[in-house]
């Protein structure tokens, strides 16, 4: 039997054409999608609070931006964002989930620290590339863009990086989930852009490529892989 075709990867063209926003609107008609004017105002507000001026800005990547940025960057470095940690705290009914089986995506929550990457966007490209990024991250207002302090792994300060932190009043905020529920949803949920398990595994691989080990994320990945293997054995 032929393998089913792989789901399309999220691309720059999909974002510019509005396909991701349309996907979310179809799956969650009760959720208000931001207008183009609202996205633009959010972007302008973020840039108005830019802490440092210079040749471009840093973006802090902690999930899929590490392995599929969809924007043009000039540099990538391993980095730490102090005062924030990554967590599977955003439910998704589109892309990597369905209304019947919502998936989970990563968000930045207050407290601790997060090892990830900073991506450099050139000054000349900044507004164009951030417009693409806002079409990806700011469709429903589930995230709040913030300038977070970042440093490299030796502790040297890199200044501030723009990061998308979770908005805990948003419709999709999942809060604190029990580990068993988190694993089940990551192991079973999927949608038009692929599975949550792929999202998790590729994030782990992206971190490993940069020499980063996130023990908590690796534990979840191990449990998800085991759950998938158990389901496959039952279905065989």
Interval 161-180 mean pLDDT: 95
Interval 225-230 mean pLDDT: 96
What does the pLDDT look like over 69-115, one tens digit per residue? Answer: 999 999 999 999 999 999 999 999 999 999 999 999 999 999 999 99
Domains in the chain (CATH in brackets) are 12-235 (3.10.490.10)
What does the pLDDT look like over 198-217, one tens digit per residue? Answer: 999 999 999 999 999 999 99
What does the pLDDT look like over 18-54, one tens digit per residue? Answer: 999 999 999 999 999 999 999 999 999 999 999 998 8
Q: What is the pLDDT of residue 174?
A: 95
Q: Which long-range contacts (CB under 8 A, 24 or more apart) does 208-214 make?
A: 210/66, 210/76, 210/78, 210/117, 211/78, 211/153, 212/78, 212/115, 212/116, 214/86, 214/115
pLDDT > 60? residue 143 = yes
Q: What is the pLDDT of residue 39?
A: 96
Question: Buried (b) or exposed (e) across 146-177, using 16+ Cβ within 10 A?
Answer: bbbbbbeeeeeebebbbbbbbbeebebebeeb
User: What is the distance between the alpha carbons of residues 202 and 127, in angstroms, rounded to a whole number?
Assistant: 28
Q: What is the pLDDT of residue 131?
A: 97
Interval 127-151 mean pLDDT: 96
pLDDT > 60? residue 7 = no
Report whether 135 contacts 71 (CB < 8 A).
Answer: no
H/E element, 208: helix 196-209
Query: Phi, psi (5° rounding) for residue 157?
Result: -70, 135
User: What is the distance between the alpha carbons of residues 200 and 218, in angstroms, rounded to a whole number?
Assistant: 9
User: What is the distance between the alpha carbons of residues 176 and 213, in angstroms, rounded to a whole number?
Assistant: 22
Q: What is the pLDDT of residue 9?
A: 82
Question: What percent of the chain clears pLDDT 70, i.e. is strictly above it?
Answer: 97
Q: What is the pLDDT of residue 6?
A: 56
The size of the chain, in residues, is 236
> To the nearest whole number, what is the mean pLDDT of the chain?
94
Give the residue numbers marked as catalytic: 137
Q: What is the pLDDT of residue 155?
A: 87
Burial class (CB within 10 angstroms; exposed 0-12, middle 13-18, buried 19+) of 225 = middle
Three-state DSSP class for residue 195: strand
């Amino acid at each position: 039997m032929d393998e089913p075709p792989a789901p399309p990867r999220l691309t720059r063209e999909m974002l510019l054409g509005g396909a991701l926003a349309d996907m979310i609107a179809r799956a969650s008609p009760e959720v208000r999608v931001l207008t183009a004017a609202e996205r633009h105002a959010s972007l302008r507000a973020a840039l108005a609070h830019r802490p440092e001026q210079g040749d471009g800005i840093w973006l802090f990547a902690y999930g899929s931006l590490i392995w599929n940025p969809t924007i043009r960057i000039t540099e990538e470095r391993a980095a730490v964002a102090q005062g924030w940690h990554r967590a599977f705290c955003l439910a998704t009914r589109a892309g990597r989930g369905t209304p019947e089986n919502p998936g989970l995506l990563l968000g930045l929550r207050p407290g601790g620290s997060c090892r990830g990457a900073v991506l450099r966007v050139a000054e000349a490209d900044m507004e164009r590339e951030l417009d693409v990024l806002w079409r990806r991250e700011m469709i429903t207002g589930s995230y709040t863009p913030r300038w977070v302090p970042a440093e490299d792994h030796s502790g040297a300060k890199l200044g501030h990086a723009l990061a998308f932190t979770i908005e805990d009043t948003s419709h999709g905020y999942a809060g604190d989930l029990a580990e068993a529920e988190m694993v089940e949803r990551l192991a079973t949920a999927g949608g038009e852009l692929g599975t949550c398990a792929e999202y998790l595994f590729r994030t782990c691989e992206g971190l490993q490529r940069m020499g980063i080990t996130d023990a908590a994320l690796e534990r979840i990945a191990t449990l998800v892989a085991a759950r998938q293997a158990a389901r496959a054995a039952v279905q065989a």
